[in-house]
């Protein structure tokens, strides 16, 4: 079923009775060319691009819960390509370009909204660092503009520019950045993949791998054993748990990140805004709620809930730049488990087990990467060669010394 304006009008006149589920709920077959473990954004995007770009259709996506129930449905929906290393920035810019054509590609309204992201700076050295970052962005083909205080005032007149501790001196703007409706991304990719024959199997947890003589030939699941030529793991926060079943220890720790939504307010935040001196980033959803977040709780956890000190920290960050929101009520908060890597960068790679592939380590920035991650993982699975945009996302980079440590924090995952 293709969506069109005509179809919407027809349905609204006939009581919306013609809408059907947009993916099937099949039972698993005995054998697939490729099994993707994890029906999050990345797993579903991989299935979509494998079937649409690489002509492989005999694929299953195995999801232990329901698709969209993981981080893809828990994030604060920000997309941007404002990184600065040669190993990561071209990848994120590629992702941005895929976002720009996503709705057309999927024939699905994912509400890609390029409303711009503004990273505030509060001191002269920070401005210099942002100039450098902006230049790195421009060199990768992305867009970047440096705004002085007046430039920021035009966009956000209500900010606390004269804050005694962290006065706002300007900001780095990426106009093409923005937000995307996160669960629509999962559903859109699922629909695309399903329409080309991919089996999306929910409530099917992978409980082990079938590995013999260093070759992976399938998985064990709560719905029985399933064989495959290739098994592609893509389980975000559960990466260590799942890969340990294949006997692997990863350069990853699991940490919780919380997100918050306020009561609905009239539109007053036009884009995405980040505090440069603390942990706070915010945008306003189409329903009017302020969607915001901050830092990790900071300790290993698999519980999808955080603690109160971070709530306080995030709210203080918000009050430091926009005291106007002080009376708004916090409506909801939740947490998601992040696969925090040792250098803050991801992995899209084979493993030492033949036929077993790994995609993970996306930290708290993997939503923006969804399209490019799916495309590059699909490329790796189809051709057994790394995609040129993701060739440095290797599992052995800590041994070879080629870390991609944008923040320069070292092997301390909770600081990336």
Partner 1 sequence: MIINHPLLGPRDSSEFVYLGDASLMNRPQWKGEEADLVKTEETIKQYHDYLYLRNNPAGEHQELWYHEQGDRSWLVVTRNTTTHNISQVQMAKDVALKTLREK
- Least distance to ligand FAD from the beta carbon of 75, Å? 3
Which residue, 177, 171, 188, is CA-closest to 79?
177
C-beta closer to partner 1: residue 56 or 235: 235
Output the smallest distance, CB 15 to ligand FAD, in A.
33
> Residue 259 interacts with ligand FAD (CB under 6 A)?
yes
Contact by Cβ (8 Å): 362, 407? no
Which one-letter DSSP state was computed for residue 194? H
Taking CB under 6 A as the criterion, the residue among 368, 387, 394, 397 binding ligand FAD is 368
Q: Is 364 a residue that touches ligand FAD (CB under 6 A)?
A: yes
Contact between residue 239 and residue 221 where contact means Cβ atoms under 8 Å apart: no
With H, G, I as helix, E, B as strand and everything else as coil, classify residue 228: strand
Residue with Cβ nearer ligand FAD (160 or 205): 205
Phi-psi region of 410 (alpha: psi -120 to 50; beta: other; left: phi over 0): left
**Among 36, 42, 114, 231, interactor with ligand FAD by CB under 6 A:** 42
Is residue 416 at the binding interface for ligand FAD, with CB under 6 A as the rule? no
Contact between 103 and ligand FAD by CB under 6 A: the answer reads: no
- Rounded to 10 degrees, the C-alpha dihedral 290/316/328/148 comes to -60
Q: Which is nearer to partner 1, 109 or 396 (CB)?
A: 396
Do 213 and 45 contact (CB within 8 A), yes or no? no
Lookup: tokens for 11: 């349905």
Residue ranges of the alpha helices (H) in 274-338?
308-321
Question: Which one of ligand FAD, partner 1, none interacts with residue 133, CB within 5 to 8 A by kind?
Answer: none
Two tokens at 90?
């071209």
Please report, as residue ranges, which positions from 73 to 102 form the binding site for ligand FAD (by CB under 6 A): 74-78
Decide whether 38 or 355 has the Cβ nearer to ligand FAD: 38
Least Cβ distance, residue 126 to partner 1 (angstroms): 24
Interaxial angle between packed helices 89-106 and 370-383, expressed in degrees from 0 to 180 and rounded to the nearest 10: 90
Minimum Å distance from CB 224 to partner 1?
23
Residue 32 contacts ligand FAD per CB under 6 A: no
Query: Judged by CB under 6 A, does residue 70 bind ligand FAD?
Result: yes
For residues 169 and 206, which CB has a smaller minimum distance to ligand FAD in the complex? 206
How far is the CA of 74 from the CAs of 57, 118, 259, 315, 339, in angstroms?
29, 22, 8, 19, 14
| Residue whose C-alpha is closest to residue 182's, from 279, 283, 79, 100 | 79
Which residue intervals of 140-198 are DSSP H helices?
A: 149-155, 182-195
List all residues 6 or more positions away from 365 whose beta carbon is below 8 Å from its beta carbon.
none
- When asked if residue 38 is in the footprint of ligand FAD (CB under 6 A), the reply is yes
CA dist list (Å): 68 to 14, 185, 187, 338, 361: 29, 9, 8, 15, 18
CA separation for the pair 26, 37 (Å, rounded): 16
> Residues interacting with partner 1, by CB under 8 A?
240-241, 244, 249-254, 298-303, 307, 309, 342, 398-399, 411-414
Stretch that binds ligand FAD, among 69-77, 127-135, 154-162, 317-325 (CB under 6 A): 69-77
| β-pair partners for 359 | 348
With respect to ligand FAD, which residue has the nearer C-beta, 127 or 144?
144
Q: How far is the CB of 337 from partner 1 (least distance, A)?
A: 9
Task: Identify which of 336, 346, 136 has the alpha carbon closest to the alpha carbon of residue 255.
Answer: 336
Are residues 93 and 140 in contact, defined by beta-carbon separation less than 8 angstroms? yes
**Which C-beta is closer to ligand FAD: that of 41 or that of 289?**
41
- Chosen from ligand FAD, partner 1, none, partner binding at 91 (C-beta under 5 to 8 Å by type): none
Residue 18 contact partner, candidates ligand FAD, partner 1, none, CB within 5 to 8 A by sort of partner: none
Q: Which does 299 bind (CB under 5 to 8 A by kind): ligand FAD, partner 1, none?
A: partner 1
Query: Which positions lie near ligand FAD, rule CB under 6 A?
Result: 37-43, 62-65, 69-72, 74-78, 205-206, 234-238, 242, 257-259, 293, 336, 362, 364-368
């Amino acid at each position: 079923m293709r969506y069109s304006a005509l179809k919407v009008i027809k349905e609204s006149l006939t009581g919306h009775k013609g809408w059907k589920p947009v993916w099937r709920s099949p039972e698993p077959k005995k054998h697939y060319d490729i099994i993707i473990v994890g029906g999050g954004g990345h797993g579903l995007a991989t299935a979509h691009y494998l079937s649409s770009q690489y002509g492989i259709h005999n694929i299953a996506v195995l999801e232990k819960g329901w698709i969209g129930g993981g981080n893809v449905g828990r994030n604060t929906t920000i997309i941007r390509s404002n990184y600065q290393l040669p190993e990561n920035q071209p990848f994120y810019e590629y992702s941005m370009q895929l976002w720009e054509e996503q709705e057309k590609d999927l024939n699905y309204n994912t509400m890609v909204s390029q409303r711009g992201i503004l990273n505030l700076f509060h001191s002269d050295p920070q401005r210099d660092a942002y100039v450098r970052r902006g230049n790195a962005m421009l060199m990768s083909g992305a867009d970047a503009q440096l705004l002085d205080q007046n430039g920021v005032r035009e966009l956000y007149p209500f900010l606390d520019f004269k804050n005694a501790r962290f006065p706002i001196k300007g900001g780095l703007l990426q106009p093409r950045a923005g937000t995307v409706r996160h669960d629509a991304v999962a559903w859109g990719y699922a629909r695309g993949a399903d329409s080309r024959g991919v089996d999306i199997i929910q409530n099917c947890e992978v409980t082990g791998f079938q590995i013999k003589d260093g070759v992976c030939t399938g998985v064990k699941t709560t719905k029985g054993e399933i064989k495959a030529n290739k098994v592609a793991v893509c389980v975000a926060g559960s990466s260590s748990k799942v890969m340990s079943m294949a006997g692997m220890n990863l350069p990853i720790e699991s940490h919780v990140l919380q997100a918050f939504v306020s009561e609905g307010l009239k539109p007053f935040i036009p884009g995405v805004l980040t505090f440069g001196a603390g942990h706070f980033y915010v945008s306003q959803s189409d329903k009017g709620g302020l969607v915001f977040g901050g830092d990790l709780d900071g300790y290993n956890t698999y519980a999808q809930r955080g603690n109160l000190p971070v709530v306080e920290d995030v709210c203080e960050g918000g009050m430091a730049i926009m005291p106007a929101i002080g009376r708004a009520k916090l409506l909801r908060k939740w947490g998601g488990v992040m696969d925090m890597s040792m250098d803050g960068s991801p992995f899209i790679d084979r493993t030492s087990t033949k036929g077993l592939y790994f995609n993970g380590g996306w930290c708290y920035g993997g939503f923006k990467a969804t399209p490019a991650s799916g495309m590059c993982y699909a490329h790796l699975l189809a051709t057994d060669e790394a995609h040129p945009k993701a060739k440095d996302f290797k599992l052995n980079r800590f041994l070879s010394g080629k870390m991609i440590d944008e923040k320069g924090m070292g092997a301390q995952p909770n600081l990336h």
